[in-house]
Amino acid sequence: MPIIEHSRYRAPFLLSNGHLQTMCAGIFRRLNSGFFRRERLETDDGDFLDLDWAETGRSRIAILSHGLEGNSRRPYMIGMASALNRAGWDALAWNYRGCSGEPNRNLRMYHSGAIDDLDRVVSHVLRRGKHRTIALIGFSLGGNLTLLYLGSRGPSLDAGVRKAVAFSAPCDLRASALVLAKPVNYFYMRQFLQSFHVKIRRKMARWPDALNDDNFNRIRNFRDFDDRYTAPLHGFRDAEDYWSRCSSSTVIHRIARPTLIVNALNDPFLLDGCYPRKQAEKSQCVFLEVPASGGHVGFIQFGENGEYWSEQRAVEFLNG
> In this predicted structure, what is the pLDDT of residue 53?
98
Q: Is the pTM of this model over 0.95?
A: yes
Check whether residue 42 and residue 128 sit in a common domain. Answer: yes
Least confident of 19-28, 160-169, 266-275: 19-28
Active site annotation includes 234:
no
**Which one of 66, 111, 234, 296 is the catalytic residue?**
296
Check whether residue 220 and residue 187 sit in a common domain. Answer: yes
Q: Which of 204, 219, 246 is the endpoint of a domain?
A: 246
Contact (Cβ atoms closer than 8 angstroms) between residue 179 and residue 22: no
Active site annotation includes 47:
no
> In this predicted structure, what is the pLDDT of residue 288?
98
Check whether residue 226 and residue 275 sit in a common domain. Answer: no
> In this predicted structure, what is the pLDDT of residue 303?
75
Mean pLDDT score across all residues of the chain: 96
Active site annotation includes 131:
no
Q: Which of 198, 220, 246 is the endpoint of a domain?
A: 246
Is residue 262 predicted with pLDDT exceeding 90?
A: yes
**Which one of 90, 176, 267, 310 is the catalytic residue?**
267
State the average pLDDT over residues 116-134.
97
Phi first, then psi: give them for residue 244, nearest 5 degrees: -65, -45
Check whether residue 144 and residue 260 sit in a common domain. Answer: yes
Reported as a pLDDT band with limits 50, 70 and 90, residue 206 is very high
Number of domains in the chain: 2
Check whether residue 100 and residue 231 sit in a common domain. Answer: no
- Summarize pLDDT for 186-201 with one digit per residue, the tens: 999 999 999 999 999 9
Least confident of 227-231, 303-307, 310-314: 303-307
**Which one of 140, 168, 247, 248 is the catalytic residue?**
140
Q: Which of 223, 246, 269 is the endpoint of a domain?
A: 246
> In this predicted structure, what is the pLDDT of residue 317?
98
Q: How far apart are CA 223 and CA 229, in angstroms?
A: 10
Check whether residue 162 and residue 187 sit in a common domain. Answer: no
Query: Count of alpha carbons within 13 Å of 228, Cβ hemisphere only?
Result: 19
- Summarize pLDDT for 214-250 with one digit per residue, the tens: 999 999 999 999 999 999 999 999 999 999 999 999 9
Check whether residue 32 and residue 121 sit in a common domain. Answer: yes
Q: How far apart are CA 184 and CA 63, in angstroms?
A: 33
Check whether residue 217 and residue 259 sit in a common domain. Answer: no
Check whether residue 220 and residue 282 sit in a common domain. Answer: no
Is residue 319 predicted with pLDDT exceeding 90?
A: yes
Is residue 304 predicted with pLDDT exceeding 80?
A: no
Contact (Cβ atoms closer than 8 angstroms) between residue 49 and residue 94: yes
Is residue 64 predicted with pLDDT exceeding 90?
A: yes
Is residue 143 predicted with pLDDT exceeding 80?
A: yes
Check whether residue 215 and residue 120 sit in a common domain. Answer: no
Reported as a pLDDT band with limits 50, 70 and 90, residue 145 is very high
User: What residue spans of 92-172 are helical by DSSP H?
Assistant: 115-128, 141-153
Residue 177's domain spans which residues? 173-246
Check whether residue 18 and residue 57 sit in a common domain. Answer: yes
Per DSSP, 12 falls in state: P
> In this predicted structure, what is the pLDDT of residue 128?
96
Give the CATH number of the domain where residue 117 resides: 3.40.50.1820
Is residue 6 predicted with pLDDT exceeding 80?
A: yes
Check whether residue 68 and residue 129 sit in a common domain. Answer: yes
Q: How far apart are CA 279 and CA 281, in angstroms?
A: 6
- The percentage of residues in the chain with a pLDDT greater than 90, rounded to a whole number, is 94
> In this predicted structure, what is the pLDDT of residue 2?
79
